[in-house]
Amino acid sequence: MFKKILVANRGEIAVRIIRACKEWGIGTVAVHSDVDADSMHVRLADESVCIGSHQPQNSYLNISALISAADVTGAEAIHPGYGFLSENAKFADIVTKHGIKFIGPSSDLIKKMGDKIEARKIAKEHGLPIIEGSNESVSSVEDAKKISNKIGFPVLIKAAGGGGGKGMKVVNKPNELEKLFPLARLEAKKYFNNDNVYIEKYFKNPRHIEVQILSGKNRTIHLNERDCSVQRNHQKLIEETPSPVIDDKIRSNLLEQTVKMVEGIGYEGAGTVEYIYQDGKFYFLEMNTRVQVEHPVTEVATGIDIVKEQIWIANKGDTALSQEDIKPRGHVIECRINAEDPSKNFQPSPGIINVCHQPSGFRTRIDGAIFQGCKITPYYDSLICKLICQGRNRTEAIQRMLRALDEFVIEGITTTINLHKKILKHEKFISSDFDVNWLAKESFY
């Protein structure tokens, strides 16, 4: 096993990785910006290195600084976590060329699956249903009109190199393309340094369902699906497993086809294949070649430590697990707690947490990096922790989550805790009668 791993990230995912390393008996190196010197991930790691100023491009996105930190500390491997450089093929390639193990798939696969157009082609080649749309990047309004007229409005313009709703535009009518097509390309260039866009049929009321996989040289297995349909501006707020809207026949087909595709591309590590689901049919959306924010939902349901398995596969090449080892239990829900004010259009709420009481109890888990006196800065993502609860069934999971949210006390900053309470008590959530656009239609404040 590795003797030392550098964690190329911050916040709750860095803490999560450090904990997994400690359980393997692996030494850890935390990297941090100047404003993160007193953060929990720095305190928990065996060693720490300051890699730059608070601007991400000067620290957590600074490839040369990360490689230097690994060299100085003698780290044998780098775990990228999620976000930042986790799906950067160039970073993975440089890490490997420096004789350091990148904990994730090959740079070639990261590049292929990170390009949404290429990923669509690969998914189709391996038998997955894809959303009707363009097979190549679209470079002119005229071509966009031809494709859109062929598949029918509404359509979705999407950035080939991105995600998270950036460079994404819904077009309801032909005359809207004149304005929205160049705007989508500008956004794509700004956020991903790649102005290639493509066009897909737009689904008005879909669910967002994803399949967690673990894959080694020897085999690929799935850890069932997650339903991530409670979203705001394409950002997930609540995830659960199993999905309450698909039956066993659809689930079996979905899981089987996903494993076949992932195995077919020779994938190694943990990954997630995401789908749009509507009217009893699912369609390939994208593949994330990293650990997901919402991985604890699956861990609690299956009893499998996904991060430890990532490290094992990176070290050994094979997965030690078989499909028979995966036996999900009950129903699990996760709420992402953000330092935001929902009553002010989700305005970020940085500051010092002067009171922090985190919930505990039966089948209740917290993944976070917060503590009393810690400072939430305005420079990074507003996610501060995740609350995960398990029940024998969905009703009990909801009840347990509401109990845990009631126990959660954070003062000094504004959070989304009360919003989660409102969502979980809403009749549409309770009956699972919602889609990815639900929150935009409801007024919670």
Q: Percent of the chain having pLDDT more than 70?
A: 100
Q: Is pLDDT at 152 greater than 80 in this prediction?
A: yes
Q: Is pLDDT at 109 greater than 80 in this prediction?
A: yes
Q: Is pLDDT at 445 greater than 80 in this prediction?
A: no
Query: pLDDT tens digit string along 239-272?
Result: 999 999 999 999 999 999 999 999 999 999 999 9
Q: Is pLDDT at 441 greater than 80 in this prediction?
A: yes
Q: Are strands 235-241 and 331-338 parallel, antiparallel or unpaired?
A: antiparallel
Q: pLDDT band at residue 167, thresholds of 50, 70 and 90? A: confident
Paired tokens of 193: 């340094």
Give the SS3 label for residue 53: coil
pLDDT value at residue 166: 79
pLDDT value at residue 193: 83
Query: pLDDT tens digit string along 52-73?
Result: 999 999 999 999 999 999 999 9
Mean pLDDT to the nearest integer, 345-366 = 97
End-to-end CA distance of the chain: 51
Catalytic residue flag (residue 363): no
Q: How far is CA 429 from the centre of its chain?
A: 22
Query: pLDDT tens digit string along 18-32?
Result: 999 999 999 999 999
Domains, the chain, in order of start with CATH, read: 4-103 (3.40.50.20), 132-201 (3.30.1490.20), 207-441 (3.30.470.20)
Q: Percent of the chain having pLDDT more than 90?
A: 94
Query: pLDDT tens digit string along 392-402?
Result: 999 999 999 99
Q: Is pLDDT at 362 greater than 90 in this prediction?
A: yes
Paired tokens of 298: 């699956």
- Per-residue buried b or exposed e for 189-225, using 16+ beta carbons within 10 Å of the residue's own CB: bebbebbbbbbbbbbeebbbbbbbbbbbeeebbbbbb
pLDDT value at residue 270: 98
Q: Is pLDDT at 15 greater than 80 in this prediction?
A: yes
Measured between alpha carbons, how far is 98 from 65 in angstroms, rounded to an integer? 13
Q: pLDDT band at residue 443, thresholds of 50, 70 and 90? A: confident
Measured between alpha carbons, how far is 86 from 103 in angstroms, rounded to an integer? 9
Query: pLDDT tens digit string along 393-432?
Result: 999 999 999 999 999 999 999 999 999 999 999 999 999 9
Of 182-196, 212-226, 253-267, 291-305, minimum mean pLDDT range = 182-196
Mean pLDDT to the nearest integer, 368-392 = 97
Q: How far is CA 21 from the centre of its chain?
A: 21
Q: pLDDT band at residue 337, thresholds of 50, 70 and 90? A: very high
Measured between alpha carbons, how far is 303 from 296 in angstroms, rounded to an integer? 10
Measured between alpha carbons, how far is 375 from 373 in angstroms, rounded to an integer? 7
Q: Which candidate in 185, 290, 336, 365 is catalytic?
A: 290
pLDDT value at residue 103: 98
Handedness of CA 79, 114, 380, 419 (dihedral sign): negative
Measured between alpha carbons, how far is 100 from 87 in angstroms, rounded to an integer? 17
Of 174-188, 240-254, 256-270, 354-368, minimum mean pLDDT range = 174-188
